[in-house]
Amino acid sequence: MEDKLNQLKTILNEVADLNAASALLGWDQQTYMPAGSAEGRGNQLATLGQIAHIKFTSDEVGRLLEDLEPQVAQLDPDSDAARLVKVTRREYDKNTKVPTEWVAEFARVTTVGQQVWQEARIENNFARFQPYLEKIIDLRRQYAAIFAPYDHVYDPLLDDFEPGMKTAEVKEIFGKLRPQQVELIKAIADRPQVDDSFLRQTFAEQKQWDFGVEVITKMGYDWQHGRQDRSAHPFTTNFGIDDVRITTKFLPDFVSSAIFSTVHETGHALYEQGVDHALERTPLAGGASLGMHESQSRLWENLVGRSYPFWQHFYPRLQEFFPGQLGNVSLDAFYKGINKVQPSLIRIEADEATYNLHIMLRLELEIALIEGSLQVKDLPQAWNSRMQEYLGVTPTNDKNGVLQDIHWSGGMVGYFSTYALGNLISAQLWERINQDIPDLPDQIRKGEFSALLGWLRNNIHRHGAKYESQELVKRITGSKIDPAPYMRYLTDKFSKVYGF
């Protein structure tokens, strides 16, 4: 068995290296690549994608899996070898159904599409991006059709980001969650609004950068195996466990944006940096799912980063960076300001109480696009209409509306629900973490994060993709993804902030 397992690993290592090279080109595309290079970069990514796809879906991989499966069945089902064969089989069965030509075309279209999206967003011109999005949606429909029959046409797309999850499950979870969040928002709206005007002044970009570096260094980000850059939309990427990079977008007139997006992306990065090195260069060397990944970023961003103990430690330092803007603002006022609840246009700047409504809106639009009940040309109008219905605000332009997110330009149709799932998982994990580390608030107040990071590393990070998210959540908390802990967290927090 050992010989065949090593043969399989050799192929998987090569595929991982090709994917890492593609990821490096993708990182460069969003950070330093000249604007006119998109077509050439698309060809490069298409070539690498083709080679990786052909190598991974080869008959040799299929034969090795067939030979190994009865042998690993005798092992502990949680062993690295058994899980590697199980996960590889799952990915192999999916990928062998997808034509290599589709893989190459998808890489070309999305690479150019991302560049056009950036330009269309700057120009506030959805019409320019529309033909590219139409092609992307068509390609994602073609992809879904490959996996028919299915319970819902959106299932294959969701499965790419949340393995094993069905559209019906997500709808059920959101169906329970939405009325509770709407009720909470109404309760908050009946209370006097908090003041956050002090956050909306001029804040020097370099000082924002420097403060963020101090924060994420204390959180545990490993600068020997990572770096930070600027991009149009914050993201995290990695080319292996020892090379995990984050990007941040800075707004000169709103300091919260860069702070919390930097902490958010670092949550993703800490996950990738914490994967067991024994899983390196295999399909297990990554997060369990995008929902589990978002649980880590949202946990650090919100449950830690927007908490009172966190700012008891960091606020005096932030005041030193910006004495003119924040020197006369009390800690209590600052804490309430960063936790202000107000329906807004931009998802990544949305407060915790309204954030999930942004996600539900996008999920419903994605499903309609894939089903064909909504045409791309009608997307801006549908977006604006639902923003008004769900949040009571209407975008005045496409830049702050339908063009605000990068995901569709990169072909990530099926991704958005994982943000809300991540919120739910984060609160579920948080209840267990506080049981296991009862003095955690005191540790955070002192700027000590090693126990928290150690808990996450031991229970989540080291396992990589060995377990699907529902399985991992149940192992840790005793139940599958449950909205109740999240609503307990939101209600407790905002009843104190708003006094109801």
Q: How many CB atoms lie within 10 A of CB 198?
A: 15
- Nearest-Å Rg of the Cα atoms of the chain is 22
How far does CA 421 lie from the centroid of its chain? 10
The owner of tokens 């090279």 is 21
C-alpha angle 112-49-97 in degrees, rounded to nearest 5: 110
Q: Collect all residues with Cβ–Cβ distance below 8 Å to 46 and sequence separation of at least 6.
A: 103, 104, 105, 107, 108, 111
Is residue 272 annotated as a catalytic residue, yes or no? no
Q: Collect all residues with Cβ–Cβ distance below 8 Å to 438 and sequence separation of at least 6.
A: none
Catalytic entry in 265, 294, 301, 366: 265
Question: Residue 377 corresponds to which amino acid?
Answer: K
DSSP run (H or E) holding 435 = helix 417-436
Q: How many CB atoms lie within 10 A of CB 423?
A: 26
Sign of CA dihedral 43, 235, 456, 430: negative
- Cα(first)–Cα(last) distance of the chain, in Å? 63
φ and ψ of 226, to 5 deg: -170, 170
Q: Which residues pair with 244 in a beta bridge?
A: 226, 238
Question: Which sequence positions are flagged as catalytic?
Answer: 265
